[in-house]
A and B are shown apart, each in its own frame.
Chain A
Amino acid sequence: MKAATEHLSDTLLQDYAEGVVSGAELAAVEAHLVGCTGCRSGVAGWRALLANLGELPRLAPSAAFADQVMARVKIRTPLAVRVLAWVRSLFPFPATPRTWALATAAAMVPVAIVGGAAYWVFSYPGVTPGNVLTFLVWRAGDAVGGFVAQTTTALLESRFVLPAYTILEALARSPGAAVATVSTFSALTALALWVLYRNVFTARSVDGRHAAHLFAF
């Protein structure tokens, strides 16, 4: 520490005025100040400056600041959260014990009906789960087969089949034309997908939101 005749450094006076000096150094500074008017005056000056600096205000941006920021922020919702929100939007989730009780009761109605029907069916002698399963598989196979047959017939009888066949035959005879057609079709598809992506995910509406939010779960 400096002798009483030697003044304390400006740095030490600042630190003392700010209250960041401690321990033996603090005791030495205080002992020096008792006998040094110049340093006491220096401390007073620093305290006045620090007090004024401490009153500097926080400045406010314009009122529209927050909205302007949010319009430029891309909020990415994790997939799990979006799926959960989508499921929740499909079903009105109960919020109180009473609505939970009502929802449980409502869910039990179809369970009771199906259970009663199953009991009634299987109470007949000769009706077993195996028999019922075989019957259901047979009916389902019949339905799928009928659908395939009807669709095939409709396609073969369609007025578009002959022109399409003609075009395919022409393309098969000319590999160059086939490549050009496939390339053009692929390019147009890629262009359409790119335009769709730009419109949905990168272009913003006037409220600053991407159209993607319309498709979010």
Chain B
Amino acid sequence: MPYAELDDKELVKLAREGREPAYRELLSRYQRPVFSLVYRMVRDRATAEDLAQETFVRVFNSIDTYDPAYKFSSWIFKIGNNLAIDHLRKRKLDTLSIEGSPHATTADQQESSRITVEAGGENPEQYVVHRELGSHIERAIGDLRPEYRTAITLRHVEGYSYEEIAEVMELPLGTVKTYIHRARSELKERLGHLVE
């Protein structure tokens, strides 16, 4: 069966019938989006892996409770975001670095905790320039309030509409718009000299 051609709701139906390839296809579709969201929230690779794993385990082990009236992606983002928020409430972490964990004390730890990005078809020079600018942007996003981080990531990395973000964050539409406007204003203030 060509699982890659099925939409999320069809995959959920097959997963409920106990088909492991359906679970694997959902994982393949959402592991990067969910990990990206959670990583940008908690700013630590190992913690982000744990929380992203927990997100999938919770979603898959309660797949029978999924309501097809909602988007599957919204459901999984909601659970991932809630887990990240809960984690942040318990523990505050410091600076984000796409170059590796801020807790790394050796070069090996730094290398092993580095983040891999999706290949964008850039040449090496473009990649170096983008990576430097990207690091500044990631750091600036990391300094935002957690709820701003979620909103900005969903809007600009996942391309979610304001309404979908409101659904994931369980907030009124107006609040989400305010969050995004304020977050972008803070980013522009910090990055204006770099991006213009």
- Chain A residues within CB distance 8 Å of chain B: 10-11, 14, 44-46, 48-62, 65-66, 68-70, 72-78, 81-82
A48 lies within 8 A of B196 (CB): yes
Q: Chain B residues with Cβ under 8 A from A55's Cβ?
A: 120, 130, 134
Main DSSP-derived SS at the B contact region: helix
Q: Chain A residues with Cβ under 8 A from B15's Cβ?
A: 75
A56 lies within 8 A of B184 (CB): no
Q: Chain B residues with Cβ under 8 A from A49's Cβ?
A: 184, 187-188, 191-192, 195
Whether B27 is near chain A, meaning CB under 8 Å from some CB there, is: yes
B23 lies within 8 A of A75 (CB): yes
Set A45, A51, A74: member contacting B61, Cβ < 8 A: A74
Whether B74 is near chain A, meaning CB under 8 Å from some CB there, is: no
B117 lies within 8 A of A60 (CB): yes
Minimum C-beta distance from B33 to chain A (A)? 6
| Shortest beta-carbon contacts, A-B, top 4 | A77-B18, A57-B117, A53-B156, A58-B32
Whether B36 is near chain A, meaning CB under 8 Å from some CB there, is: yes
Set A52, A54, A69: member contacting B56, Cβ < 8 A: A69
Set B17, B23, B138, B157: member contacting A70, Cβ < 8 A: B23
B20 lies within 8 A of A75 (CB): yes
B166-186 vs A, Cβ < 8 Å mask (1 yes, 0 no):
000000000000000100110
A52 lies within 8 A of B17 (CB): no
Set B35, B60, B134, B195: member contacting A56, Cβ < 8 A: B134
Complex: chain B residue closest to A41, CB-CB: B196
- Chain B residues within CB distance 8 Å of chain A: 15-18, 20, 23-24, 27-28, 31-33, 35-36, 39-40, 48-49, 52-53, 56-57, 60-61, 98, 115-118, 120, 130, 133-134, 137-138, 141, 152-153, 156-157, 181, 184-185, 187-188, 191-192, 195-196
| Contact A44/B187 with A58-B33, A75-B20 known, Cβ cut-off 8 Å | no
Known: A55-B134, A70-B20, A75-B20. 18 other contacts (CB 8 A): A45-B196, A50-B156, A50-B184, A56-B157, A57-B118, A57-B120, A58-B32, A58-B118, A59-B32, A59-B117, A60-B35, A65-B35, A72-B57, A73-B56, A73-B61, A74-B61, A76-B18, A81-B18
Q: Chain B residues with Cβ under 8 A from A59's Cβ?
A: 32, 35-36, 39-40, 98, 115-117
